[in-house]
Amino acid sequence: MGRAKYISVEGPIGVGKTSLAHMLADRFEARTILERYSSNPFLNDFYSDRKRFAFQTQLFFLVNRFQQQSELKQRDLFKRSAISDYMFAKDKIFAQINLSDDEMALYNQIFNILDTKTPKPDLVIFLQAELDVLMQRIKSRNHPYEKGLTQEYLKRLIKAYNDFFFYYNDTPLLIINTSEIDFVNRPDDFENLVKEILHSRRGTQYYVPISSKEQQKM
């Protein structure tokens, strides 16, 4: 990659983070750092009773994500490019919508200590999609631990992500609405995105597919 050495792909559940991370890793001959959702022993209980199991679930994710990021840093990030299907800071997005005030106060103390010890991405790609699109994608992939995920919870999560990235300025940011594009099945969409990444700049950029640009001219 003659550009960002460490790219994080972010966005709400079902938006296609892992699929895009794999595709970018293949293109750039980079290693992948993938979130270990299924390894969380509290996740099934969380979707059944979020209030009761939120804190355990969140702490497990926080520690697990920190361990992965620490390993990445220790391997010398600059020897080989890396693509991740999450960024460490995303943990706080989920915490803010799931934890009580007292739980959040304790969580923040732990998060702030760990956050200073994790590598920051050179580029963050934020994937967006409409609520109904996400619900359909989640339903079609049929992950057992997502069966209890409600439309209301996903709506809150979408808002939390949008609010977080509205103020985000820690790294270059590329925002993509995936509701009408398909990186997996439409090669042109993926190729155009690769071009955007290769020419990524500081600040916030928006990816607009060529087909959308042509429609705007009509």
Give the burial class of 54: count Cβ atoms within 10 A of its Cβ; 0-12 exposed, 13-18 middle, 19 or more buried. Answer: buried
Q: What is the pLDDT of residue 123?
A: 93
Q: If pLDDT is split at 50, 70 and 90, which confidence band does 47 have?
A: confident
Active site residues: 85
Q: Measure the CA–CA gap between 210 and 192, rounded to whole angstroms.
A: 8
Q: Are 30 and 24 in contact (CB under 8 A)?
A: yes
Q: If pLDDT is split at 50, 70 and 90, which confidence band does 96 have?
A: very high
Q: In Å, what is the CA distance from 205 to each residue of 67, 77, 153?
A: 30, 24, 28
More confident residue, 48 or 72: 48
Asked if the 6-217 domain carries CATH number 3.40.50.300, the reply is yes
Listed by start position, the domains of the chain span 6-217
Prediction pTM value: 0.87
Segment 123-177, tens digit of pLDDT: 999 999 999 999 998 988 878 777 778 899 999 999 999 999 999 999 999 999 8
Segment 66-95, tens digit of pLDDT: 998 887 766 655 567 899 999 999 999 999
> Which of 11-25, 110-124, 185-199 is the least confident region?
185-199
Beta partners for residue 185, in sequence order = none
191: left (phi over 0), alpha (psi -120 to 50) or beta: alpha
Q: What is the pLDDT of residue 217?
A: 43
